[in-house]
Chains A and B, each alone.
Chain A
Amino acid sequence: MERVELGKEEVEVKPDQWKLFERAVFAAKAKLTYGTVEEYLKMLERMKELERNGEITVFHVEEEFEPVTVKTLSGRRKRIPTVELWQHKSCGQCGHIPGYVTSLYWIMSQLGVPYVDDTNQTSCTAWNYYGSGTSNPVALTAVFLRNMHVAWERNAYPLIHCGTSYGDYKEVRFMAVMSRELRERVRQILKKIDRDIVIPEELVHYSEWLHVVRHRIAERKKYDVSNVSVAVHAACHTYKLMPEDYTYEDDVLDGVRPAPTTSVALALGARVVDYRNWYDCCGFGFRHILTEREISRSFAYFRKVQPIVRETGADVLLTHDTGCVTTLDKSQVVPLAHGYKETVPVMSDSQFAALAMGAHPFTVCQLHWHVSDWKELMTKMGIDWERRLEEHKRYVEEVKKRVREPEFIRSPGRRLRPRKDSRELSS
């Protein structure tokens, strides 16, 4: 604790608050707005004001969503809903790393958490925007508010699976609340699709949900992971894009780095290892991962995978975003073909948690879609992967021959009833 003179006042600042404090002082001196903690809090106040004036509807985290409170980087307390969730799926996950989302649903079904997996959902379209510039604030905000309105109609609280959707939604929410012009332009578009402005009180990433239910997950642990060393890569768009609102916890990484994912690994009893490049991005780059593969691959391998393996010898690399899992996993093939030795299995925190809880590594966690080698990790966790792989192959074959029906993960019965449609909302 240090005492700092700020104008005429003297305030006490904890060491871990230095970064924020310096920013706040700079912001105050430069009369800055966007991106500062003060302005973020102002935006939340403005949102309440707009609600009071009847300009917007705010989707509150009511008690019926059984929220758990966490601390954010700004020091603000954030309420994370734990039940009755509207799954905002990720456009990059579902097509080629389906185990990400299937593991999350499986955990929810095990914990008795009701949810809605909606077909009336689009991606946030921000991958496209960041990669190609083929969108704009009006379109991004309209897509955000359309999806949020659907969640509101279903009376299920949006849980965002993708780090980029989460970051983009935080950004466009800020703009929609603070810019009347943008808001009104978007309102006109929403009218054409029979919808209105509904803004969630809290934007929640699935990793924050996993974070708050981690002890319940740990209680259901089937495998001992105390001999597994875990390296964590925090996704840039969760904690660098509008950083004020992501979850931090005093007893996880001293409260100075994002808590989710690390906290889940710790709760499961794994050994979390640290590495010097923890802050670096994964190399995804939106357009790069698709059309500039060399640059993406080089960054992922030489700035993340190689240093992680050399410095820590980690058994697994966990992350919590679509792009990060994709890039860190797929970028290992070419360097290995060129004779580099370092390799580490990559998966999402939801897959690791589901594995530890005893989920089927292939039928549920869908690990066979990943290219980095997970066999050693399975063995270390005590999972007989050869037998499990045979089981899965048999299952796929039986489904193919229609000898058996596929076994779908289902949501436990919902308690909340869907709301009426948007026409009633606007009247």
Chain B
Amino acid sequence: MYQRKSVKIVRRLRRLNGNGWAYHGLPGLQWEIENSSSYDRKLMSELTRELLEDFRIHEFYHACINCGNCTSRCPAFRFADFSPRVVVQKVMHAKSEPDLIVQMLDQYIWACFQCYSCWDVCPAHNNPGGLIAMMKELAVKHGLQSASKALEPYSRVLFKLMTTGTQITPDMHSSIAPFRDWGPHKAELVKHLREERAAVPVENLAKVMDRGWNVDAETIRELLIIEKEAGVIDAVKSVLKDVGEMVDETRAEYGVE
């Protein structure tokens, strides 16, 4: 519906502010809207169909009255061009205009913090956070380029979780780790990390550097079976090929067929 602006208005806005935020639609959406016009129509319909046929859609979306409560509580709205209200509105009109979903899937949704403040305050009990999580799943499953871009810096953590069942581990605290802005204090701690870790007074944590806690090999094997059977490894392969292949290698090491 946002695209149904009269050509005249669009031209005028372009003349006024050619490279600015005011043309074609809402602030922050110009890239997504431009990009959706070049999308494969078949893929576009497929993505929309999959979203609208998901068993959770009727639980997460009911009817949007455009009140904006969700956006008023949204942390991403404060510091990024993002609004959960826009997402719900686009889902509302997706059936007749499938490109609206692609506009959301392609980059826009990755701003969401998944805090679910939007769900808590929605008078219609929509769950924008839930819808966005579903959309992220779709973007990953179909290997959208924007998903690959968003997740590339996340690769290390993703691999760690999928192959150890734990996420942030002591060996991630190093001078080249992603947490450089944690300050000089962290750099100081890193110097004595091994000793400090050995002195943590819980047996399953002490000395463990490459995972959060001691995890049994059999536990990891079970996790890898779940990931394989539920299609998680395939989904990761389609968006981060290297990570998916490394998980596959680990899977083979653990004897998971």
Contacts and interface: CB of A to CB of B under 8 A. Distances in A.
Interface stretch (A75-83, A94-102, A308-316, A379-387): A94-102
B75 A281 contact: yes
A132 interface: yes
A269 interface: no
B78 interface: yes
B206 interface: yes
Contact of A101 (B73, B169, B202): B202
A35 B127 contact: yes
B contact residues, range: 35 or more
A237 B116 contact: yes
Nearest to B185: A371
B225 A35 contact: no
A133 B199 CA distance: 36
A212 B146 CA distance: 46
A6 B28 CA distance: 43
Interface stretch (B9-17, B41-49, B96-104, B159-167): B159-167
B52 interface: no
Nearest to A140: B230
A146 B219 CA distance: 9
Interface string A327-353: 000100110010000000000000000
Interface in B117-141: 117, 119-120, 123-125, 127, 133, 135-140
Q: Is the interface of A mostly helix, strand, loop or mixed?
A: helix
Nearest to A26: B123
Interface stretch (B19-27, B31-39, B85-93, B172-180): B172-180
A285 B124 contact: no
B113 A36 contact: no
A409 B202 contact: yes
A200 to B, nearest CB: 19
Contacts of B253: none
Given A91-B166, A94-B205, A119-B215, A134 B59 contact: no
B113 A179 contact: no
27 contacts: A26-B124, A36-B125, A91-B168, A102-B200, A122-B222, A123-B165, A128-B158, A132-B151, A132-B158, A133-B133, A134-B151, A139-B232, A237-B115, A288-B113, A291-B154, A291-B178, A293-B181, A295-B76, A299-B75, A303-B78, A333-B182, A333-B183, A369-B189, A395-B199, A397-B195, A406-B198, A406-B206
Q: Sort A-B residue pairs by CB-CB distance and give the 7 closest, nearest first.
A: A133-B136, A122-B165, A34-B59, A333-B183, A139-B230, A91-B167, A285-B113
Interface of A: 22-23, 26-27, 30, 32-36, 89-96, 98, 101-102, 105-106, 117, 119-123, 125, 127-139, 142-143, 146, 167, 175, 179, 181-182, 188-189, 192-193, 195, 236-237, 239-241, 243, 279-281, 283-288, 290-291, 293, 295, 297-299, 303, 330, 333-334, 337, 363-364, 366, 368-369, 371, 395-397, 399-400, 406-409
Interface of B: 55-56, 58-60, 62-63, 73, 75-76, 78-80, 110-117, 119-120, 123-125, 127, 133, 135-140, 147, 150-151, 153-154, 157-158, 161-162, 165-170, 172-173, 178-179, 181-183, 185-186, 189, 192, 195-196, 198-206, 211-216, 218-220, 222-223, 225-227, 229-232, 235-236, 239
